[in-house]
Chain A
Amino acid sequence: SQTIHQWPATLVQPVGSPLSLECTVEGTSNPNLYWYRQAAGRGLQLLFYSVGIGQISSEVPQNLSASRPQDRQFILSSKKLLLSDSGFYLCAWIPGFSGTDTQYFGPGTRLTVL
């Protein structure tokens, strides 16, 4: 079956510390992958998307970066976190060669930067 995983589920980090959030999918190959951020009480903002290994498109300039080292792995990183990086981070995917337009979301990571 096709599933998407994110970890950790919650994270509390000090300002200036590094960040690594991981997203992995199962049951498909060549998925499109997406990272979104949701501030409290707000809609989702697209941060990065990837259509293949090593292919990353950035939507919002900031101190975050993304990488796709394997077909089914998508990583969101930062070298130095800011207070404004706090939020709910959601990974989404479209199964490869599915003919579908729908993005399915993972369970999310709640990040608090203190």
Chain B
Amino acid sequence: AQKITQTQPGMFVQEKEAVTLDCTYDTSDQSYGLFWYKQPSSGEMIFLIYQGSYDEQNATEGRYSLNFQKARKSANLVISASQLGDSAMYFCAMREGLVDAGGTSYGKLTFGQGTILTVHP
């Protein structure tokens, strides 16, 4: 069974508008982390935002916010005021597993299949 599901293969948005990229996950762990990464055509994976399973507030990082709905097991990425440079592949990922006393994760990331976002001028 898929642990991370991104149901939108491609999304289009007009410049300066907001867009939501969907992500649902499946885990039986109580402690887990959810991540979003951006991969432009260069291939580099760029970390955008993180949400811990115990975090009560939705994570925000500049124009990125994560709409975390724990009961529904969804972690959608919202990009506000889209820019042309936001055009890229976006991946949702989940970390399961142990975290040591220092807070460093021994867990591994499971990635979704990605959503290609195209921003139109």
A binding-site residues for B, Cβ under 8 Å? 32, 34, 42-46, 49, 51, 59, 88, 90, 92, 94, 96-105, 107-108, 110
Contact = CB atoms under 8 A, between A and B. Distances in A.
Task: Give 4 closest A-B pairs by Cβ, nearest first.
Answer: A99-B103, A105-B45, A43-B111, A44-B111
A103 B109 CA distance: 8
Q: How large is the interface on B (under 10, 10 to 19, 20 to 34, 35 or more residues)?
A: 20 to 34
A34 B42 CA distance: 20
Contacts of B47: 102-105
A108 B44 contact: yes
A59 B109 CA distance: 11
Contact of A42 (B4, B99, B104, B113): B113
Contacts of A44: 45, 91, 93, 109, 111
B108 interface: yes
Contact of A107 (B44, B52, B113): B44
Contacts of A45: 111
